[in-house]
Structure 1
Amino acid sequence: MSLARRKVLLIEPDGLVRGTVASVCRELQLVRLQQATSVAQGEKWMQSNADHGLLLSLTERDAALALLARLRAGGLRCGADIPVAVMVHGADADLVSRLKELDVRRLLLQPFRLRDVVHTLEQLWPAAEPMAA
């Protein structure tokens, strides 16, 4: 399945960042992007929709990490092992360690370049990897 048919949830409170990422995904047909403005809104979406990936801002750090823990524990509709990339303004060793424990595949340090987002989304799924429904 092409990347453009993969459904990814973007949880990002910053409207400019969210809009820019969504625009790039749409223009380059990278993925089908669902947008949420908060962790609570994103979690509500994930309780009834099975996305193939998650692009998560750590602006709401504690809530975002708790959401990741629930995801990895199988508490949401999507697969517990979906690829996750996080966006954060800075990361110390403790945060990086926690993200590794939660099987976060990519870390985007903000401010990032749009090509970093494109590269991240392309890297989340190797071309030969079969996709589960």
Structure 2
Amino acid sequence: MVDVGFTHIALPVADVEQSIRFYCKYAGMQVIHQRVDAKTGASVVWLCDRTRPFAIVLIQTSSVSPVLSPFAHLGVGCKSREDMDSLCKQARQENVLIEGPNDFGYPVGYWAFLRDPDGHTLELSYGQEIGLTVANAT
């Protein structure tokens, strides 16, 4: 099988282990590949939520300038408002909640922005229906 289409996004990170914990906790992801690049010596990790063939690639670097910051962000759909509220409560306690949760109604839905350990933005949402929109596109 050959990968075709949008497969991954790569993010520079200062501490791979800290970023793994963040994305596992807030985006439901898990490590599917991990290595040290032979040429650069950098730790490289692929994370996936196993709902689709898409990965976040974390590449450890000595310095990070956040590229994904509001409104540039990664978006993750949550199972329910309650699940999202629970994650937002934890994010607030850990001081990583940037904004929200907010309810903007259809098609934007219920959403919040979180800051990952390197300042990149992760959006949690419920009710955006992107999967349904893709399935119904003609």
TM-score where L is the length of structure 1: 0.30
Choose between structure 1 and 2: higher helix proportion.
1
TM-score where L is the length of structure 2: 0.29
Name which one, 1 or 2, has greater alpha-carbon Rg.
2
